[in-house]
Amino acid sequence: MSIIKNLAKMIDHSILQPTHADEDLLKRCEVAMKYDVASVCVNFCAPLW
């Protein structure tokens, strides 16, 4: 296995913007799957109203 693939498995992909759209979340998860990163961290900060 290449060094880059091994390194990718140690990286977390973060989606921390509180205002991301569902489409943004899906696109970024697809990128994470493409590069086989360790995890995807998502901020699900819902407005309180």
What is the model's pTM? 0.68
C-alpha span between 26 and 1 (Å, rounded): 27
- Residue 2, strand partner residues: none
49 has a pLDDT exceeding 60 = no
- Res. 47 pLDDT band, cuts 50 70 90: low
Give the tens place of pLDDT for each residue, 22-31: 888 899 899 9
Per the CB < 8 A criterion, the answer to whether 40 and 12 are in contact is: yes
pLDDT attached to residue 5:
82
Per the CB < 8 A criterion, the answer to whether 15 and 25 are in contact is: yes
Sign of the torsion formed by the C-alpha atoms of 31, 35, 36 and 39: negative
Per the CB < 8 A criterion, the answer to whether 41 and 15 are in contact is: yes
- Res. 6 pLDDT band, cuts 50 70 90: confident
